[in-house]
Amino acid sequence: MIGLVVIVIQMLFFTIVLINYFFAPVLSLPKQALKASNKSVAVLIPVRNEEEHIKDLLDDLFAQSRLPEEIIIYNDGSVDNTKLIVESYIENYPHIIRMIEGGELPKGWLGKAHACYHLGNAANADYLLFLDADVRLHACAVASILDQMVKYKWTLLSAFPKQIMKTWGEKIVVPIMNIVLLSLLPLPLIRIKRFSSLSAANGQMMCFDRSVYIANQFHVLVKQEKAEDIAIART
């Protein structure tokens, strides 16, 4: 009997993996110019000691086929050259990029949620695109994200980017995370079912409709959550 249960569970996991492999939604690149060109987007980046990554991300952003109207960086007490790198971009693009200097973390908050809270409330664009500093972007990434948000009238869009694994630790841990995601969560159902248990998001890339974000203050709701991305998706 136990053996039969194990086989059924394995078949269930295998079925979910197949469904995700063939039918999981993919963020496609726009085949034509955006129709909703009047919509604006702000890219929001929390950073702490990201000197190895922030330059690459900013270069990717300024190489986009569709430039964001705002780029706001929250510097959460960096002690490396992160601030100097960002300031060099501010000198060249003062009309687009600015930096918020973080202060003492209030009681009851975790660092990333606190940084994102300030970023989300500092932006004025129609859409808020939160990115981690170690993310790299295709040249049409911002255009594609904005296109999807407008086309489907989504209030939140999150994507799971291709993971670049360099260290042995990353090569061991990251595939395990992907296995859990692919075998336990039927991704196509996220778009058609409203069960919170089927909800997931990736904090590396989350895009919000600003009006919905401001009304709900999502990062306040999850200020003590270590996995704030999943917690937001399930609110």
Assign 158 to helix, strand or coil: strand
Residue 23 within any structural domain of the chain: no
CATH number of domain containing 209: 3.90.550.10
Query: Angle CA(116)–CA(145)–CA(204) in degrees, nearest 5?
Result: 40
- Residue 94: exposed, middle, or buried by beta-carbon count in 10 A (0-12, 13-18, 19+)? exposed
Residue 26 lies in a domain: no
Of 107, 157, 163, 155, nearest to 134 by C-alpha is 163
Domain count, the chain: 1
CA-to-CA distance for 234 and 193, rounded, in angstroms? 12
Return the structure tokens found at 38.
């009047």
Instruction: Identify the domain containing residue 223 by its residue range.
Output: 38-161+202-233
In-domain check, residue 177: no
Contacts of 95 (CB under 8 A, 6+ apart): none
Residue 84 in domain: yes
Residue 197 lies in a domain: no
- From residue 25, give the alpha-carbon distance in Å to each of 19, 160, 219, 230: 11, 11, 26, 18
Which of 108, 19, 112, 125 lies closest to 70 in space, CA to CA? 125
The answer as to whether 167 is a domain residue is: no
Any idea which residue has 């929250």 for tokens? 74
pTM across the whole model = 0.84
- Cβ pair 129, 207 in contact under 8 A: yes
- If you count DSSP H runs as helices and E runs as strands, how many of each does the chain have, helices first? 10, 6
Residue 102 lies in a domain: yes
DSSP codes of every residue in 30-87: PSS--S-TT--EEEEEEESS-TTTHHHHHHHHHT-SS--SEEEEEE-S--SSHHHHHH
67 neighbors 93 (Cβ within 8 angstroms): no
Low-confidence ranges of the chain (pLDDT < 50): 33, 36
- Considering the domain boundaries, does residue 184 fall inside one? no
